[in-house]
Amino acid sequence: MFYYLLKYVVLGPLLRMVFRPRIEGLEHVPAAGAAIIAGNHLSFSDHFLMPAILKRRITFLAKAEYFTGPGLKGRLTAAFFRSAGQIPVDRSGKDAGQAAIREGLGVLSKDELLGIYPEGTRSHDGRLYKGKVGVAVMALRAEVPVVPCAMIGTFEAQPPGKKIPKIHPVTIRFGEPLDFSRYAGMEGEKAILRAITDEIMYAILALSGQEYVDRYAAEVKAEEAAAAKERARRFPRLPRR
C-alpha cells in the first residue's frame, strides 16, 4: 500500500517535476509475468525514477548499508527503502553474489519485475563498466527475459556525492527484451554466463551511448582511491595561515 502511495502521491509526482523524465520504449517492458530490467547506474536517483514511471511494481536489489544506519534516521531510511521496493543485499564477503541471486530469484518466482544494475555499483565518472554475471545466472535459472534499460541524464542531475539533485532533463530508454532460452541449463558454464552478460551490457551501451570500460567499476574505484591517498601522503597540503 505504501509503495503505491509513494509512487502516485508523494515521490512519483515530485520526481517527475524535478527530472521531467522522457520515456522511450516502455512497450518493451512485459505487462505481466517475471522479467529482469537490467540498466546502467549513474545516480542515487536511479533507484526511484524507474519505479516512478513504470506501471508495474519493480523491486531492486540495494546495498545493505541503506538499511543498517544507526538511530531513528537509520530506521526511517530503512523503512523508506523497503516501502519503495528495495531489498537489502550484503555485498561483502565471498557469499555476497549468491545472496543477491537468492533474493533476486525470490522476486522472479512471484512473477514480478526485478531491477538489476549489472555493474554492481554506481559509475563514478559516467562511463559504463563491465557487468557481473549474476544477472545471467538469474535469467537462466528463472527462465525470464532481460529488458535492457538506459538512464540518461541522471549523472548530470545528481552525480555521486551530491545529496540534492538539480533540475535536469532525464531520458529513460528501454530496449527490446533479450531471450536467452537457447542457453537453458547452462548456468554452470562460465563462458556462457560471460557471453550473456556481455550481450546485456552491449544492449545497454547501444541505448545509453556511454563510453565503455572493460573492467569492473569497483576495481577502478578502488585503484583511484588508493592513488588519491598516495598523492595525499606524498604531497600533503600545507596548513592555512
Task: Report pLDDT digits (tens) over 113-168.
Answer: 999 999 988 899 999 999 999 999 999 999 999 999 999 998 888 777 777 777 77
Q: Is 230 part of any domain?
A: no
Q: Is 233 part of any domain?
A: no
Q: Is 68 part of any domain?
A: yes
Domain count, the chain: 1
Q: What is the mean pLDDT of residues 202-222?
A: 95
Distance CA 121, CA 177 (A): 23
Distance CA 126, CA 34 (A): 30
Distance CA 45, CA 14 (A): 12
CATH classification of the domain holding 106: 3.40.1130.10
Give residue for cell 526485478: 114
Q: What is the mean pLDDT of residues 40-45?
A: 88
Let me know: does 101 contact 137? Beta carbons within 8 Å: yes
Q: Is 85 part of any domain?
A: yes
Rounded to 10 degrees, the C-alpha dihedral 164/169/175/177 comes to 40
Percent helix, strand, coil in the chain (nearest 5)? 45, 15, 40
Query: Which is it for strands 58-63 and 113-116: parallel, antiparallel or unpaired?
Result: parallel
Q: Is 229 part of any domain?
A: no
Q: Which residues pair with 147 in a beta bridge?
A: 37
Q: Which is more confident, 3 or 24? A: 24
**Which amino acid type is present at position 63?**
K
The three grid cell numbers given for residue 233, joined into one nine-digit string: 601522503
Distance CA 47, CA 149 (A): 13
Instruction: Tell me the average pLDDT of the chain.
Output: 85
Where in the sequence is the domain holding 182, given as residue range(s)?
A: 2-214
- The pTM assigned to this predicted structure is 0.86
Distance CA 5, CA 12 (A): 9
The three grid cell numbers given for residue 20, joined into one nine-digit string: 521531467
Angle ∠(183,187,192) on CA atoms, nearest 5: 60
Let me know: does 38 contact 135? Beta carbons within 8 Å: yes
Q: How confident is the model at residue 223 (pLDDT cuts 50, 70, 90)?
A: very high
Q: Is 227 part of any domain?
A: no
Q: Is 232 part of any domain?
A: no
